[in-house]
Structure 1
C-alpha cells in the first residue's frame, strides 16, 4: 500500500487562494539564507583553491555554479527544511487562536429554588464550560438565566443545550457570542442614557444599540410575529418605534430598560 508523506505543519498558513505562505520576518529569512548559502560557497571556494584553474575559468565556475546551486537547489530546499522555524511566530499565533475557547450565550429557564443555578454550573463544568457572566431575570413562576460561557472549540451548541436540560433547564437557547457580550449591561445602559440626554432624537438608534436589535423605521413591516417575544414596540407621545431581534426574544429586564430610556427621552424633550 502506498503511503503518503505527511504535509508540513507550515502549510496551514498557506493562502487559500494562491497557496503561498506569508513572507517570513527579515531577520529569520536572512539567517536562513546564510545558513543555506555559506556551506556551498565555502565548498566551492575550497575546491577552486585546491585545483588552481585559470582566473577567468575560476570566475565563470564560481558564478555559474553558485547561481545554479543557490537559486535552484540550495535555497528552495533550505526554505522547505527550515519552514517551521521561519514561520514559527505565525504558527504560535495560529496555535493561540486555535486554542482559544469559544464564547457562547445561553438563555435558560430554571426553577426559582435554591441550588438551581449551582446544578446548572456543575453540568456545564462537565463540558469544560466556564461561566463568565450571569444575569438573572425574575419571571412569575421561574427565573430566566442568561449566561456567557467559554468552552473548548470542540464543545458544540448541542452539547451545551443538553447540559442545561440535564440540569433541569427548559426553553434553552444557545447563540455564538463575542467579547462584547462581556460588557456590563448596566454600564452600557448608563452610557447610552447619557447619549440620549445630549440628543433625545437618538432614542431609536440608542435602543437598537443597547438591545443588539434592528430598528424598524416607521412604515417598515415587521419580519417576525410579535407573540414570540422578538418584536419590541416603544411609544413616546404620538410616535412609535419597533425593534426586532430574530430568534432571540427580549428579556423582561431589556424591555424595562428600553421603556425607561423612552421615558428619559420624553422628559428631556419636554424640558428643551
Structure 2
C-alpha cells in the first residue's frame, strides 16, 4: 500500500518520482548513514588495527554500504515520509469534487427533468447548469454537474436510466464549461466579425466538433455530420441539435456580412 501510493506520484513519461524536499532528504540521509558510520568506527577502533589500514577500511566499507546498500534502502523505506507533502496534495486533488458534462435524451413530458434531478441528487450530484434543446421526438438536456470523487459515469448513467432517460454522452468538464453560454457565443461572434476567415475554427469551437475537408465514409456511421457549404463538421456519437445548427448558420451569415462590408 505504501509503495503503491508513492508510485502514483511517478512521472508518466520518465517514471521518476518528484525530488523530495531538501530538508526531508537531508534528515533521511543522516538517519540512514549515521548509525552505519558509528558502528563501523566503533568496530575499527575496537580492533586496534594500524592507522592507514583503518582509514582504508572505513573509506571503502562506508562508501560501498552507503551508496549501494544503506541509502537506497532508506530511500525506499522512508519514501512515504519523504514525499509526504506531495502525497497530501495528491490526496486532496483526488478527493476533490469533479465536473461532468452530460447530454441526456428525455421524453418531453412534465416532471421528467425533475425526476432526473432527484436521481442525480440521490448520488450527491449537484446540477450547476442546464440547457434544454427541443427535438422532434423529445428533448436533449445538456447539464454540467459536480460530483464527489467516487461518483463517475457508471453511477451517473444509472441515475439517467432510472429517470427514464438515455445518456447520449458523459464527459469530464472543467471550470471553463461554466462560462455563460451567451457570453461565449458573443465572444466567438466578435472573432468572426473581426476576421471572417476564422469562421470554420469558431464554429468548431462553438459546437465542440472537428472541422474536416473530407468525410471518411467509414467514419460517417459513427459520427454526426453538419455541412454548412463549403464547410463540414463532424462530432462523434453526439448529434447536433437544431439550436446548435441554427447558431452555426447565424455565424456563417455574420461572416458573409463582414466580407461584404470589407
User: Normalising by structure 2, what TM-score?
Assistant: 0.81
Residues in 2 aligned to 1:74 and 1:220: alpha-carbon distance in whole angstroms: 62
**2:3 aligned with 1:8:** yes
Ranges in structure 1 where 5+ consecutive residues have no aligned partner = 1-5
Q: Is the 8 A contact 1:104 1:174 kept in 2?
A: no
Residues 49, 134 of structure 1: alpha-carbon distance in 2 compared, 3 angstrom cutoff: same
Structure 1 residue 70: Cα displacement = 1.9
* Structure ranking higher on relative contact order (CA contacts 8 Å, 6+ apart): 2
Residues 85, 197 of structure 1: alpha-carbon distance in 2 compared, 3 angstrom cutoff: same
Alignment of 1:32-51 (within 5 A): 32-47=28-43
Structure 1 residue 32: Cα displacement = 1.1
Residues in 2 aligned to 1:121 and 1:188: alpha-carbon distance in whole angstroms: 26
Alignment of 1:201-216 (within 5 A): 201-216=197-212
The one-character-per-residue Cα deviations of 1:34-87 (angstroms, maximum 9, x if unpaired) are 121123323444555566544323322322332233223322221122111112
**2:151 aligned with 1:161:** no
**2:61 aligned with 1:71:** no
**2:250 aligned with 1:255:** no
Q: Is the 8 A contact 1:148 1:177 kept in 2?
A: no
The one-character-per-residue Cα deviations of 1:61-115 (angstroms, maximum 9, x if unpaired) are 3223322332233222211221111122333344344334554322223355654
**2:194 aligned with 1:198:** yes
Match of 1:3 in 2: none
Q: How many residues are matched? A: 259
Residue 176 (structure 1) aligned to one of 171, 176, 186: 171
Q: Is the 8 A contact 1:161 1:174 kept in 2?
A: no
Q: Is the 8 A contact 1:131 1:147 kept in 2?
A: yes
User: Normalising by structure 1, what TM-score?
Assistant: 0.78
The one-character-per-residue Cα deviations of 1:13-38 (angstroms, maximum 9, x if unpaired) are 45678865444343322221112112
**How big is the alpha-carbon RMSD for the aligned residues of Structure 1 and Structure 2?**
3.2
Residues in 1 aligned to 2:200 and 2:118: alpha-carbon distance in whole angstroms: 40
The one-character-per-residue Cα deviations of 1:176-212 (angstroms, maximum 9, x if unpaired) are 2331433332222111111111111221221112111
Residues in 1 aligned to 2:203 and 2:220: alpha-carbon distance in whole angstroms: 18
Ranges in structure 2 where 5+ consecutive residues have no aligned partner = none
